[in-house]
Amino acid sequence: MSSHDDTVSLSLEDICKQFGPVKAVDGINLDIRQDEFFALLGPSGSGKTTLLRIIAGLEHPTSGRVMVGGQDVTFMPPYHRRIGMVFQNFLLFPHKTVAENIVFPLRMQNIGKAQRDDRLSWAIQLLRLQGLEARYPHELSGGQQQRVSLARGLISRPALLLLDEPLANLDRELRAEMEIEIRRYQKELKIPFIYVTHNQEEALTMSDRIAVMRNGVFEQVGNRTEVYQKPKTVFVAGFVGQSNQMEGKVDKVNGGFLAFTWQGKKLVVPHAGDAKTGELVRFMIKHEDVQIEVASRKSAIPGNHNSIPGKLRDIIFKGQTVNYLVDLEGGMEIVASGSPRDMTLAAGDLVFAFWSQDTGSSFKLG
Amino acid sequence: MKPDSTWRDFLTPFVLLTGPGTLFIGVTLLVPLLTVVMFSFWRTESYELYADWNFDNYRVLFGEAAYRTFLIRSVVSAAVTSLICLVLAWPVAYYIARHGGRYRLLLVLLLAAPFFTGVILRIAALQGILGPGGLINMSLGLAGFAPIKLLMYTQFAATIGHIYLYIPFMVTAIYLSLVNFDFALLDTAKINGAGPFRAFIEVTWPLNWIGTSIGTVLVFIPCLASTITPRFLGGPNATSFGMSLSQQFGETGTWALGSAMSVVMFIFSFLVIAVLKFTIDLRRSGFTGAGR
């Protein structure tokens, strides 16, 4: 594992956490670098919050080690760890003003008033909280409360900032704004952030690396484009981005490709796993990787593409993108996503859904 | 809409909603209280009240050493009892609120168990434990030891009685405060560098101070007025202000002096509430929406 690597600020070594018969966290290994924005992405109950609480020291792992800056902190109480944390429900101290909430960590470290005031004005400026210093938490909007919570988490320049679904209680517009902001703080301060979320868009927008977690284990850890474009498991492919799914028996394996038959159509797709001829595979392809063409212009589809005929059932206009819902014979459906510029199509048109043979991912089933 | 109808729109619900309660409190509390204040400036002679206005009752009250002693004794006793109840009740209430789980409600209801019987019976039961023929001293006697004098008819025994009688109020008040307290705030405090003690001082205590002060009032005031407990457990050296007061209305029949004593007791109770109220800043209590 990580010996003395200065760029590693947190490492988890084989962390397990058992609650009664339930393994909430099951053998997690992870190194977080000094300048990294790391997202822990997973559905609720996947163990991501438990893992975060273990890092914070609010829970002890059943086995394994937590190292912060090369020091074993597995059983160190949270108040000695120098870790900041931001919660979904903010958890500001309701009886303290904004300023008192923000300087709380510094007071606990017995830092003098002059330096506290200094740091306070720095944090107020960074999080644009000017004029709110004397307010009480209940007098603030949700977005302001979350910024105060961030200021409190950052003011003592912790070795690590943990964020537990910090934007889940905010409305959509504010969330989009805060996603950018939070990433900016991380890049400016160069403090590693570990960001727990069940929202894949948030994870993709903000982070450098993503770990997709399910049932207490990491399904995949990688940089965000890798996780999005090259999912390692069916779960990751289904959880990150929106995909079409097709299942069938492998007809032939040919180098990096495999061929299988789906809805009577022969499809050629990338072959990454170890599926052999005759075995059942699932092919998953993101909506935006599927294109669409009217039936009369079939000849315009390039040669190395899969294409499936169908009938355009509906066009879902989503602003920046458009989803084409294509009904196939046999009751199946394919969704193709594109830019709304070429809106010459109409519902009821006969079309081809097509995609390049080297996009998408196939997984052996069973 | 006619101009006077708005006035009526306000008055009708006001009278209907607050009328019955106001009337009840007026008749049962305010009238007797004012009567007592009035009597305290009168004079009693041979069990008769005479309406010749004077300050003699107060002069006696503050002039005679005995009454001063009773008053100081009662105030100190109430303060000591409140403090001990506070110290004993906090961990109990905290434990029930934090770790009581699904038994929380049951545990709190159990605190009310002593109220299944009357005060006299409960005090008599305590006497059966602390008194000369009581469980403790009789066992000591049978084992050949001298009895513990401290337990027999002393201020100490009376204080034990007070604590026993009033601690359920303190636990309940603190518990009710703690069940509405977000314990996750303690996690936040710890992550931000506060050890268990500082987290308590910075977060738990201030956010539960209102409940605690209500508990304190609920113990202090009945304790200040206590008559039965010191009479049964305290003996002659623990005569309380309340005991003396009830004698004025009973054996000695000096209603006017008794009334003056009531007024003094009322003022002291009021002072305690006022002092506690002074320590409460609603904006700093954690009650959201409490305003300014």
pLDDT, one tens digit per residue, over A132-144 is: 999 999 999 999 9
Q: What was the pLDDT predicted at A60?
A: 94
- Rounded to whole angstroms, the Cα distance separating B167 from B245 reads 24
Q: How many CB atoms lie within 10 A of CB B285?
A: 17
Q: What was the pLDDT predicted at B291?
A: 42
* Domain region containing B140: 64-284
Looking at per-residue pLDDT, the higher value among A115 and B112 belongs to A115
pLDDT tens profile B208-238: 999 999 999 999 999 998 888 888 888 777 7
- Rounded to whole angstroms, the Cα distance separating B275 from B266 reads 14
Q: Which of residues 77-96 of A touch B (CB under 8 A)?
A: 77-79, 81-85, 87, 89, 91, 93-96
Q: What was the pLDDT predicted at B3?
A: 56
Q: What is the ipTM of this complex?
A: 0.84
Q: How many domains does chain A have?
A: 2
A111 contact B CB<8A: no
> Which residues on chain B place their C-beta less than 8 Å from a C-beta of chain A?
182, 184-185, 187-195, 198, 202-203, 206-207, 283-286, 288-289
Task: Pick the residue of A108, A110, A163 with the most B CBs within 10 A to test the interface with B by mutation.
Answer: A108
Is residue A335 located within the same domain as residue A311?
A: yes
pLDDT tens profile B166-188: 999 999 999 999 999 999 999 99
Residue B186 distance to chain A (closest CA, Å): 9
DSSP string, B112-131: TGGGGS-HHHHHHHHHHHHS
The residue type of B60 is V
**Is A55 among the domain residues?**
yes
Residue A71 distance to chain B (closest CA, Å): 17
Question: CA angle, A103 as apex, A97 and A108 as ends, to 5°?
Answer: 120
* Domain region containing A233: 8-237
Q: What was the pLDDT predicted at B181?
A: 92
Q: Which residues of chain A have pLDDT under 70?
A: 1-6, 341-343
* Runs of H (alpha helix) within B180-240: 184-191, 196-199, 205-207, 209-224, 228-229
Looking at per-residue pLDDT, the higher value among A61 and B116 belongs to A61
Query: Whole-angstrom distance between the N-terminal and C-terminal Cα of chain A?
Result: 32
Map residue B118 onto helix, strand or coil. coil
Is residue A110 located within the same domain as residue A197?
A: yes
pTM given for the model:
0.84
Tokens of B171: 């636990």
Is residue A153 located within the same domain as residue A200?
A: yes
Q: What was the pLDDT predicted at B5?
A: 67
Tell me which of A168, A203, A237 is where a domain ends: A237
Q: What was the pLDDT predicted at A1?
A: 43
- Residue pointed to by tokens 């069990």: B47
Is residue A292 located within the same domain as residue A314?
A: yes
Q: What was the pLDDT predicted at B175?
A: 94
Is residue A312 located within the same domain as residue A297?
A: yes
Q: What was the pLDDT predicted at A4?
A: 52
Q: What was the pLDDT predicted at A3?
A: 47
A108 contact B CB<8A: yes
Strand A83-86, strand A193-197: pairing: unpaired
User: Which domain CATH number covers A128?
Assistant: 3.40.50.300
**Is B200 among the domain residues?**
yes
User: Which domain CATH number covers B126?
Assistant: 1.10.3720.10
**Is B31 among the domain residues?**
no
Tell me which of A237, A252, A270 is where a domain ends: A237
User: Which domain CATH number covers A349?
Assistant: 2.40.50.100
